[in-house]
């Protein structure tokens, strides 16, 4: 594909997609230079497309077919014109312009096949593996767009992705439970004598709150580690980790005493912008 031939409205399509479905990541791209912002939007739009598959199909097979299309695209096998898919065209452009590795993108697609089925997440270790291949991988790739890869960046990205992913799981519990989908590890539910059927029917119990508090504690530890290591990487790389400011804010809200875990939380886009703007000017992310 000729990257320079991508029509200009592909960028707008990706920006609109990310803004609509993943506003915190969209807001974080506003603080990146133009070329890097375009690549970040392509990466995040690709992620939105993959994550949305489970909500767009009623059976696993159509979802598997959609995932296979992306796997084939990333391996160089294109069914039809990639240029006809704005997200695919922009992603290929970002891969070309920033020498992004294809393997983690393919692994991200593979890992999200779990989403198509109602198998519960078995253990905390399994959850960490899932998040490392999805949330953490996005941080690694975003950082590679912003600066040269390094072991330090990958170390921070792992913890950043685990923190962000766990917070997302706690946040989306009402929706997931309604679909009888369980990302909260069965291991933790069993440790706290929490009946999975109680979760599926939206029953707020002390046992479930204990489970979620343990998960939140895991997220706090990973977040603290990631933030403490930011000073070890170049400022340009730190820009890729701006979404951690929103993770910190979300974690504080989710940890409020008496919060009903089945009450969907409506996030304010203005508050998100304010949170990330403040972080972008703080010594934590710039010095």
Whether 263 has a pLDDT exceeding 70, the answer reads: yes
pLDDT the model gives residue 274: 95
Q: What would the pLDDT profile of 157-193 be if each residue is shown by its tens digit?
A: 999 999 999 999 999 999 999 999 999 999 999 999 9
pTM for this entry: 0.93
Q: Where are the domains of the chain?
A: 9-116, 118-286
User: Would you call 79 exposed, middle or buried from its count of C-beta atoms within 10 A (0-12, 13-18, 19+)?
Assistant: exposed
**What homologous superfamily does CATH list for 118-286?**
Farnesyl Diphosphate Synthase (1.10.600.10)
Which of 151, 152, 40 minimizes the C-alpha distance to 98?
A: 40
What's the DSSP call for residue 180? T
Q: What would the pLDDT profile of 38-93 be if each residue is shown by its tens digit?
A: 999 999 999 999 999 999 998 999 999 999 999 999 998 765 566 679 999 999 99
CA distances for 95 relative to 91, 156, 210, 241, angstroms:
6, 22, 43, 20
Q: What would the pLDDT profile of 83-101 be if each residue is shown by its tens digit?
A: 679 999 999 999 999 999 9
């Amino acid at each position: 594909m000729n990257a320079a031939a991508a029509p200009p409205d592909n960028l707008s399509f990706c920006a609109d997609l990310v803004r609509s479905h993943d506003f915190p990541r969209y807001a974080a791209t506003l603080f990146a230079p133009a070329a890097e912002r375009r690549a970040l939007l392509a990466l995040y739009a690709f992620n939105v497309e993959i994550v949305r598959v489970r909500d767009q199909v009623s059976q696993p097979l159509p979802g598997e077919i959609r995932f296979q299309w992306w796997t084939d695209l990333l391996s160089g096998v294109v069914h039809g014109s990639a240029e006809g898919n704005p997200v695919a065209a922009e992603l290929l452009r970002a891969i070309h312009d920033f020498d992004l590795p294809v393997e983690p993108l393919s692994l991200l697609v593979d890992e999200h096949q779990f989403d198509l089925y109602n198998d519960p997440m078995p253990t905390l270790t399994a959850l960490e593996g899932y998040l490392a291949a999805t949330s953490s991988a996005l941080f690694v790739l975003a950082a590679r767009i912003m600066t040269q890869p390094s072991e330090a960046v990958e170390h921070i990205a792992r913890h950043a992705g685990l923190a962000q992913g766990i917070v997302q799981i706690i946040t989306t519990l009402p929706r997931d439970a309604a679909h009888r989908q369980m990302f909260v590890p069965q291991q933790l539910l069993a440790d706290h004598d929490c009946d999975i059927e109680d979760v599926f029917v939206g029953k707020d119990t002390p046992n479930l709150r204990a489970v979620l508090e343990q998960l939140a504690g895991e997220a706090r530890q990973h977040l603290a580690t990631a933030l403490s290591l930011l000073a070890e990487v170049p400022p340009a790389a730190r820009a890729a980790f701006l979404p951690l400011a929103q993770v910190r804010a979300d974690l504080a809200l989710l940890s409020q005493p008496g919060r009903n875990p089945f009450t969907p939380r409506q996030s304010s886009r203005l508050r998100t912008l304010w949170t990330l703007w403040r972080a972008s000017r703080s010594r934590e992310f710039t010095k």
